């Protein structure tokens, strides 16, 4: 039976139903092809039905996001300023004699940012370039405390220095039994902190003893060696902590006498930072690493190096794990890099830099050798650039960009360690703009990784190096 809608019924109608009854809604619902065509023609953003043109939309948005500010010029993706144009801006005619200021006769020295093309440099390099090379000493640091960790002060390789250091430290410490007892106490303390926060006094004693027992077992069954052999062991905060201890000892001769106290303090500090590990695990890791370095009777049998002395074992581990990690792929060392062209050097000079090509035997050359560098940027504005003959393009560009970093306040804000990483990152992101070859980029990537790990070994965190990119920088 049909029922006449009442007033009550109309008042209860749902809003969307009311809307659909409007004239506009009815028109829209009943629109034909001709109506749709009219509407489509009226659009200002008519689609051609393809999304292809939007594929690069994100990149386009970034065109203005990164640029190099030269003051009166700005180089960015959008401006399209190329290396050639940067050089042209210098507006100077290249004069090899004036710019390079050295004998233009082709020398025996082949040098670039990586020594990648092979080197024969007045016997200063050995054939096996995987080693840290002994270098001539300019000034003998006779008045300096020698713990075996000084750098390049003689022709003794780092392994021997560490060996000497270990012997020196051992000799100056308390008796072997006393040292072992002290460390035992430190382990008790560290593990006690980790495990005992919420436990009663008696429970702490019990669990600590168990944990210490586990640490000893870990040492004897080879777990310690396994721990240190982990790929990222050198990045472990504990490893760095121990490195800091050694560094502290190196700096202050008297610190050797206090090494045990320092060790304990550093371990406590490190332990507090192990928030990602369970307290018990933190203690075990601490104990393992500590015993690895200092336990007089540390078992290394499982690694097949029983015949080695303790110091030699330490040396081997430190060299393998810290000094040479990561292993640079051998093939990278033979990649041919672009040399810096005279035009590029002229262009850099045109930007206010003072470029000096240093020659073997000069004080500047010895300085670069001493700090293991292919080039250097220094002075108040980091505009004084030292390069070796036949320097690579990436070396010259990097030193040029360090000056730019200084102008922008980046170096002041971050320090040289982080600036080294970021400039390489910048160059990789702008490799096309800078005209880098594939080889240049591959080597640059590896160099960036080396700098990253170097900075981490100096106590900088990944957050500081990579993520705190935009913080703490002064405005232009």
Of residues 294-353, those binding other proteins (CB under 8 A): 322-325, 328, 332-333
Rounded to a whole number of angstroms, the minimum distance from the CB of residue 403 to other proteins is: 9
Select from 161, 240, 250, 310 the one that contacts other proteins (CB under 8 A): 250
Rounded to a whole number of angstroms, the minimum distance from the CB of residue 262 to other proteins is: 15
Rounded to a whole number of angstroms, the minimum distance from the CB of residue 45 to other proteins is: 31
CB 203 within 8 A of CB 196: yes
Rounded to a whole number of angstroms, the minimum distance from the CB of residue 372 to other proteins is: 4
CB 448 within 8 A of CB 425: yes
**Residue whose CB is less far from other proteins, 233 or 277:** 233
Q: Across-strand partners of 384?
A: 354, 378
Give rounded-to-5 percent helix, strand, coil for the chain.
55, 5, 40
Examine residue 380 and tell whether it contacts other proteins (CB under 8 A): yes
Rounded to a whole number of angstroms, the minimum distance from the CB of residue 301 to other proteins is: 29
**Residue whose CB is less far from other proteins, 273 or 354:** 354
**Residue whose CB is less far from other proteins, 114 or 208:** 114
Select from 124, 268, 458, 466 the one that contacts other proteins (CB under 8 A): 458
**Residue whose CB is less far from other proteins, 50 or 140:** 140
Distances (CA, A) of 322 to 169, 234, 240, 247: 20, 6, 10, 14
Q: What does residue 74 show for φ and ψ, rounded to 5 degrees?
A: -135, 125
CB 267 within 8 A of CB 182: no
Binding to other proteins (CB under 8 A) within 24-53 occurs at none
**Residue whose CB is less far from other proteins, 205 or 458:** 458
Select from 395, 434, 452, 465 the one that contacts other proteins (CB under 8 A): 395
CB 177 within 8 A of CB 191: no
CB 243 within 8 A of CB 322: yes
Rounded to a whole number of angstroms, the minimum distance from the CB of residue 89 to other proteins is: 17
Length of the chain: 476
Binding to other proteins (CB under 8 A) within 144-183 occurs at 144, 150-153
Q: How far apart are CA 213 and CA 203, in angstroms?
A: 15
Instruction: Return contacts of 230-239, CB within 8 angstroms, 24+ apart.
Output: 233/321, 234/321, 234/322, 234/325, 234/453, 234/457, 235/453, 235/456, 236/285, 236/289, 237/270, 237/273, 237/274, 238/270, 238/274, 238/285, 238/286, 238/289, 239/289, 239/321, 239/322
**Residue whose CB is less far from other proteins, 83 or 374:** 374
Select from 115, 271, 339, 346 the one that contacts other proteins (CB under 8 A): 115
Instruction: Return contacts of 143-146, CB within 8 angstroms, 24+ apart.
Output: 145/250, 145/252, 145/253
Rounded to a whole number of angstroms, the minimum distance from the CB of residue 395 to other proteins is: 5
**Helical segments of 200-309, H only:** 201-220, 223-228, 237-251, 259-273, 279-294
Rounded to a whole number of angstroms, the minimum distance from the CB of residue 120 to other proteins is: 14
**Site size for other proteins (CB under 8 A):** 93
By CB under 8 A, which span of 256-264, 277-285, 307-315, 377-385 interacts with other proteins?
A: 377-385
Q: Tell me the two tokens of residue 413.
A: 């804000």
Binding to other proteins (CB under 8 A) within 423-452 occurs at 423, 425-426, 443, 446-447, 450-451
**Residue whose CB is less far from other proteins, 199 or 319:** 319
In DSSP notation, 69-130 reads: E-SS-EEETTTT--HHHHHHHH-----HHHHH-S--S--S----SS-TT----TT-S-S-TT
Q: Across-strand partners of 425?
A: none
Select from 368, 434, 436, 452 the one that contacts other proteins (CB under 8 A): 368
**Residue whose CB is less far from other proteins, 276 or 476:** 476
Binding to other proteins (CB under 8 A) within 213-242 occurs at none
- Nearest 5 degrees, angle CA 22-CA 27-CA 28? 100
Select from 136, 178, 361, 372 the one that contacts other proteins (CB under 8 A): 372
Rounded to a whole number of angstroms, the minimum distance from the CB of residue 348 to other proteins is: 13
**Residue whose CB is less far from other proteins, 129 or 205:** 129
Work out whether strand 74-76 and strand 67-69 pair parallel, antiparallel, or are unpaired: antiparallel
Rounded to a whole number of angstroms, the minimum distance from the CB of residue 198 to other proteins is: 36
**Residue whose CB is less far from other proteins, 83 or 399:** 399
Binding to other proteins (CB under 8 A) within 61-100 occurs at 66-69
Work out whether strand 375-378 and strand 384-387 pair parallel, antiparallel, or are unpaired: antiparallel
Rounded to a whole number of angstroms, the minimum distance from the CB of residue 123 to other proteins is: 16
């Amino acid at each position: 039976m049909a029922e006449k809608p009442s007033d009550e019924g109309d008042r209860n109608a749902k809003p969307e139903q009311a809307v659909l009854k409007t004239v506009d809604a009815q028109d829209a619902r009943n629109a034909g092809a001709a109506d749709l065509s009219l509407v489509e023609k009226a659009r200002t953003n008519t689609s051609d039905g393809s999304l292809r043109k939007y594929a690069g939309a994100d990149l386009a948005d970034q065109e203005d996001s990164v640029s190099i500010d030269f003051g009166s010029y700005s180089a960015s993706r959008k401006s399209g300023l190329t290396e050639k144009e940067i050089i042209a801006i210098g507006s100077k005619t290249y004069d090899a004699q004036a710019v390079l200021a050295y004998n233009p006769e082709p020398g025996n020295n082949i040098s670039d940012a990586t020594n990648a093309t092979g080197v024969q440099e007045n016997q200063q390099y050995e054939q096996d370039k995987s080693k840290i090379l002994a270098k001539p000493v300019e000034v003998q640091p006779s008045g300096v405390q020698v713990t075996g960790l000084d750098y390049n002060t003689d022709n003794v390789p780092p392994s021997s220095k560490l060996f000497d250091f270990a012997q020196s430290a051992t000799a100056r410490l308390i008796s072997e039994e006393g040292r072992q007892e002290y460390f035992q106490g430190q382990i008790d303390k560290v593990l006690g902190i980790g495990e005992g926060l919420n436990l009663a006094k008696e429970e702490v004693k019990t669990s600590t003893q168990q944990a210490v027992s586990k640490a000893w077992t870990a040492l004897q069954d080879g777990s310690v060696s396994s721990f240190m052999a982990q790929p990222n062991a050198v990045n472990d905060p504990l490893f760095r902590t121990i490195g800091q201890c050694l560094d502290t000892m190196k700096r202050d001769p008297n610190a050797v006498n206090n090494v045990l106290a320092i060790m304990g303090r550093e371990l406590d500090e490190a332990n507090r930072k192990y928030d990602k590990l369970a307290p018990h695990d933190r203690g075990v890791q601490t104990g393992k690493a500590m015993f690895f370095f200092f336990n007089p009777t540390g078992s290394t049998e499982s690694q097949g190096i029983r015949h080695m002395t303790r110091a030699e074992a330490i040396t081997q581990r430190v060299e393998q794990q810290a000094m040479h990690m990561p292993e640079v792929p051998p093939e990278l060392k033979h990649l041919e890099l672009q040399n810096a062209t005279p035009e590029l050097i002229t262009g850099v000079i045109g930007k206010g830099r003072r470029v000096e090509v240093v020659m073997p035997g000069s004080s500047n050359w010895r300085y670069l050798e001493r700090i293991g560098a292919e080039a250097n940027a220094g002075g108040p504005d980091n505009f004084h650039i030292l390069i070796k003959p036949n320097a690579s393009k990436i070396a010259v560009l990097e030193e040029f960009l360090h000056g730019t970093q200084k102008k922008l306040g980046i170096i002041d804000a971050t320090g040289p360690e982080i600036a080294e990483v970021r400039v390489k990152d910048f160059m990789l992101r702008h490799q096309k703009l800078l005209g880098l070859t594939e080889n240049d980029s591959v080597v640059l990537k590896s160099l960036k990784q080396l700098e990253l790990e170097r900075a981490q070994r100096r106590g900088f965190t990944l957050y500081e190096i990579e993520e705190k990119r935009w913080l703490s920088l002064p405005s232009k």
